[in-house]
A and B are shown apart, each in its own frame.
Chain A
Amino acid sequence: MSDAQTAAPTFSGTPAKYRKITIVFPIVFNGLLYLGMIGVVYGILGQTWILGWKPAAIALAATAFYIRVAFPWIMGLDAQYGRGSGWKLDSRPIKLPERSQRPNID
């Protein structure tokens, strides 16, 4: 365990960055999944069902759902901005356990 208490650098996470990540990531990732499935199902197997409206609608819905839930989720985890109200913040010095050295039995 560390006792480093010198003025620590500020954590760089901000709501604007979380918002950007939770929009860009699902668009890029679900886009890759969709294109990958087109590559396999249509490009390799020659099946056309993957080009229909249903797979595209599912990809869009999954992306919208991710954007809708991930931002408040991250904000809640990073409780400086989110709610996080279920936890108290009273400072209280405590003794933490340390891992002991294993005895040398050789």
Chain B
Amino acid sequence: MMDIAQALLAPWYLQIKFVHLLFVGVWMFSTSMAYVYYLLPVMKAWRRNPQDGAIIPLRNWVMERFDEGAVYEHVAFPMVLLTGSMLYVAGGWGLSAAWLDLKLLIIFLLFVPMEMFDFYLSHFGGNKAKILATGDMGNYERHIHIHWWFFLVTTPAVMLYGLTVMFLAITKPI
């Protein structure tokens, strides 16, 4: 079965790699400008003035818009996993490539659980617009806080381990 899949995919290795890198770019960078220049300034303002009546609606708006903007990232991530799996098969890769072992450990121990929680926060039970529609403002505020916790904790991890993954994939040092 794997031999058949490899025979089918191997001639398309570089084309699959192109699609893989395209989605990696979308996954890693599609929300970066919105995060740095829209979300962060508002959240910083809120943290320094948590009861400011002018900042809270802006905070809520920017969080709800960010939930929606994360669609690009969250379409790209499953495609990264899919095309990455196809490359693994097409290239005949195995455990002997230590750089790939480390990269996959980082992806499956960190990025997959993190993105699953991000899916929840952005599109499912944690989606702020959906919670708002229920009228449960306590739940709404709680999920704003959870999402801000998520951003605080994951930002250094995403940057440092994301760059590590890219470094491993490009330089294949081990």
Contact = CB atoms under 8 A, between A and B. Distances in A.
Interface size class of A (residues with CB under 8 A): 35 or more
Interface in A56-86: 65-66, 69-70, 73-74, 77-80, 84
Interface in B133-174: 137, 140-142, 145, 148-149, 151-153, 155-157, 160
B62 to A, nearest CB: 9
A74 B159 CA distance: 12
Interface size class of B (residues with CB under 8 A): 35 or more
Contacts of A45: 95-96
A93 interface: yes
A7 B51 contact: yes
B146 to A, nearest CB: 10
A2 interface: yes
Contact of B53 (A13, A18, A91): A91
B113 to A, nearest CB: 11
Contacts of B96: 45
Contacts of A9: 141-142, 145
Contact of B152 (A5, A40, A74): A74
B149 A44 contact: no
A59 to B, nearest CB: 11
Contacts of B142: 9
A11 B149 CA distance: 9
B158 to A, nearest CB: 11
Contact of B151 (A5, A36, A77): A77
Interface string A1-39: 111111111111100001001100100010011001100
Given A32-B109, A37-B98, A2 B132 contact: yes
Given A2-B137, A91-B52, A96-B61, A77 B102 contact: no
Contacts of A22: 156
Interface string B91-104: 00001101001100
A21 B48 contact: no
B58 A96 contact: yes
Contacts of B55: 89, 91
Given A8-B56, A87-B41, A80 B47 contact: yes
B106 A3 contact: no
Contacts of B50: 8, 10-11, 80
Interface of A: 1-13, 18, 21-22, 25, 29, 32-33, 36-37, 40-41, 44-45, 50, 65-66, 69-70, 73-74, 77-80, 84, 87, 89, 91-94, 96
